[in-house]
Amino acid sequence: MNNILVTGASGQLGSEIQHLSKDYSQYEFFFTDVAELDITNLEKVREFCSTNQIKTIINCAAYTAVDKAEEQTGICDAVNHIATINLSTVAKELNIKFIHTSTDYVFNGKNHVPFKENDLTDPINVYGKTKLLGEQAMIDINPKHSIIIRTSWVYSTYGNNFVKTMLKLAETRELLTIIADQVGSPTYAYDLAKTILEILPKVNNDQVEVYHYSNEGICSWYDFAFEIFHQTNTNCKVLPIETKDYPTAAERPSYSVMNKSKIKNTFDIEIPHWKTSLSNCLKKL
């Protein structure tokens, strides 16, 4: 049996993989979150993988509170960096395929064309820095048949995210001001989860490879909010504002669009446009 460990399984991406797992009966899934398996503990990871004869790890666990991370640097580093060392180490020792997830925030946002996998990384906040350290450690340890998938602006029917926040705010507000000078591509976690499960058998590289995945298309947070209200016929006005008018603890890249040609060409996949995927998600909410 091909045993798959999914870490961070109660998060957005992990929950979507759980939801899809019924269609992948060729695998036996072990869904864990911090209560069942704290990935910052190397011995526990080693013991879990060895006892359960894990053949693949999909790491959906992360510290994703971007603003809080500016203060909680220790815990953020432990989950995003040290735990990636742990998982990579055990994957290498036990010959486990390791699918790790990372972020567009490893870039500084100063591009004007979509970032490619090999473009210079230069994170501008603690979250991005710790995710980059995790990536670099994994590349150094180099477990076989392992990949890093960077994604961006993740939302789903699970957990907290921009789509749910907008809908919640619109219940009590007639007008929202939303940042229009940060541009990126939303990712419906369901689409990424499906892609991970589809490409899994084809991941055979000897050196760790990095891929970019988001939905197709580009938008600002303002465009995203506007489209959420448009598709749900919500009566809430959206006004564009600049980043400087909405100060946050963590700085965010102004342009974080990623080039997805590599993952599309390597695995021969098609990626839905963000407006189509938003509609699919809204139907379930």
Active-site residue numbers? 127
Q: Min. distance of Cβ 153 from ligand NAP in angstroms?
A: 5
Among 91, 154, 183, 199, binds ligand NAP (CB under 6 A): 154
Q: Tell me, residue by residue from 103 to 122, as one string, x for binding to ligand NAP by CB under 6 A and - for no binding.
A: xx------------------
214 contributes a contact to ligand NAP by CB under 6 A: no
Task: Give yes or no for residue 277 binding ligand NAP (CB under 6 A).
Answer: no
DSSP label of 116 = P
Q: Which of 7, 56, 195, 215 binds ligand NAP (CB under 6 A)?
A: 7
257 touches ligand NAP (CB under 6 A): no
Helix (H) / strand (E) element for 58: namely strand 54-59
Among 121, 151, 195, 277, binds ligand NAP (CB under 6 A): 151
Please report whether residue 134 would count as binding ligand NAP according to CB under 6 A.
no
Residues in the chain, total: 285
Please identify the residue of the shown chain whose CB is closest to the bound ligand NAP. 11
Point out which residues pair with 178 in neighbouring strands.
Answer: 240
Which contiguous run of DSSP H or E holds residue 5? strand 2-7
Give 20 or 175: the residue with its C-beta nearer to ligand NAP.
Answer: 20
Q: Does residue 10 bind ligand NAP (CB under 6 A)?
A: yes
Choices 95-103, 167-175, 220-228, 273-281; region in contact with ligand NAP by CB under 6 A: 95-103
Within 8 A by CB and 6+ apart from 272, the residues are 188, 191, 215, 216, 280
Q: Please provide the distance, in angstroms rounded to a whole number, between the alpha carbons at the two ends of the chain.
A: 35
| Strand-pair category, 97-103 with 154-155 | unpaired
Q: Which stretch binds ligand NAP (CB under 6 A): 56-64, 85-93, 115-123, 272-280?
A: 56-64
Sign of CA dihedral 78, 101, 254, 191: negative
- Nearest-approach distance from CB 256 to ligand NAP, in angstroms: 9
Token pair recorded at residue 154 = 């993740």
For residue 43, list its beta bridge partners: none
* CA-angle at 166, arms to 164 and 169, nearest 5°: 105
Type of residue found at 149? I
Under the criterion CB under 6 A, does residue 88 sit at the interface with ligand NAP?
no
Is residue 101 a contact point for ligand NAP (CB under 6 A)? yes
**82 residue type, one letter:** I
Torsions phi, psi for 46 (to 5 deg): -60, -45
The contact pattern for ligand NAP, residues 173-212, with x = CB under 6 A and - = no contact, is ----------------x-----------------------
- The continuous run of DSSP H or E covering 275 comes out as helix 274-284
Which positions touch ligand NAP (CB under 6 A)?
Answer: 7-8, 10-13, 33-34, 38-40, 60-64, 79, 83, 101-104, 131, 151-154, 159, 189
